[in-house]
Amino acid sequence: MAAEKFYRDLAAQGKKVRVGMEASGQARWFERLLAEMNFELWNSDAAEIHRKRERKQKADRQDAQHILRLLLKDDFPQIWVPNCENRDLRQLLWHRHRMVQARIRIMNQLQAVALNEGLRSKKRLWREHGREQLEWFRLAPWARRRRQDLLELLDRLNPTIAELSQAIEQEVEKCPAAQRLMTHPGVGPLTALAFVLIIERADRFQCGKQIASYLGLVPLEDSSGNRRRLAHITKQGNSLLRFLLVEAAQVTVRSLPEWRSKYFYPAMRRGRKIARRDGAKNWRFAFTG
């Protein structure tokens, strides 16, 4: 590749290089290349770079010149980037999360098959007797094929998810910070490890509100003068950790009476979704307090 040849030539000449670029999810190969040649790489938020642009025209060459000017003026808005080990462990969390989502979709389809045949077993469908009833139904050829394929997929996913869950528990055993987080009710190994990996250092933030904003748990605001209008949460940031915090809040509400009373009042006043969001924000305060 032309880019690889260009930077390898600079390394052969003994040049010291600092590269500034907008953060991207498709640049791991480039980061590994620069790390191999001991070149310095600065990542930045694309929105911050755009905010500092004066001209309204946008082109790749102009973007590169704009980033160069920011580097030369020492005004480049550098952001924190996790290391390679952190990123790889995040892949473990995402992989298990996606496998669980796939299993839920398969189980919902099998529940629909059972309901169409008059069997309403809910969670009992996944026990031995419920499985026997599901397999006993006489279905049309393609419906029978669908049931068979879904059951086979389910049987393959269950041991995979169990293996990934065990790997997460092993990683938590190596992480004292994640073990401390698990002392909070509603927090399991997945949520604890995800919080440690994604937040990593709490001193990067000045207060808990900044962490909430980082995770997209703060509401959109459109205020002017004496009028203050708050909308739904921004949903900016890591969607996996935001999902897990909401799940942790729901588990806590079901298991602890003191948290249940805190949930039902905002749920009746503003709705369950907003109450769950507020519960997730309270968890953020508990983690950082």
In the chain, domain spans: 2-72, 84-174, 189-288
At 44, phi and psi to the nearest 5? -140, 155
Q: Which residue has the tokens 């305060």?
A: 285
Predicted TM-score (pTM) of this structure: 0.81
Q: Over range 182-198, report the average pLDDT.
A: 92
Banded model confidence at residue 274, pLDDT cuts 50, 70, 90: low
pLDDT at residue 83 tops 70: yes
Angle between helices 141-173 and 84-116 (to 10 degrees): 150
CA 259, CA 262: separation in Å to the nearest integer?
5
- What is the identity of the amino acid at 23? A
Helix (H) or strand (E) holding 231: strand 230-233
pLDDT at residue 285 tops 50: no
Q: Over range 197-208, report the average pLDDT.
A: 86
CA 122, CA 125: separation in Å to the nearest integer?
6
Q: What is the mean pLDDT of the chain?
A: 86
Q: Which pLDDT value is given to residue 92?
A: 96
Banded model confidence at residue 220, pLDDT cuts 50, 70, 90: confident
Digit-coded pLDDT (tens) for 229-271: 877 778 888 899 999 988 888 888 777 777 776 666 666 666 6
Q: Which pLDDT value is given to residue 41?
A: 92
Banded model confidence at residue 149, pLDDT cuts 50, 70, 90: very high
Beta strands in 137-193 (DSSP E): none
Digit-coded pLDDT (tens) for 44-56: 988 888 888 887 7
Q: Which pLDDT value is given to residue 200?
A: 85
Q: Which pLDDT value is given to residue 276?
A: 61
Q: Which pLDDT value is given to residue 234?
A: 82
Q: In this structure, are residues 246 and 277 in contact, taking their beta carbons and an 8 Å threshold?
A: yes
Q: Which pLDDT value is given to residue 265?
A: 62
Banded model confidence at residue 18, pLDDT cuts 50, 70, 90: very high
DSSP 52-82: T---S---HHHHHHHHHHHHHTT---B----
pLDDT at residue 286 tops 60: no
pLDDT at residue 105 tops 90: yes
Burial zone of 7 (CB within 10 Å; 0-12 exposed, 13-18 middle, 19+ buried): buried
Q: Which pLDDT value is given to residue 254?
A: 78
Both structure tokens of 71: 């580097």
pLDDT at residue 16 tops 70: yes
Q: Which pLDDT value is given to residue 160?
A: 97
CA angle 48, 23, 62 (to 5 degrees): 65
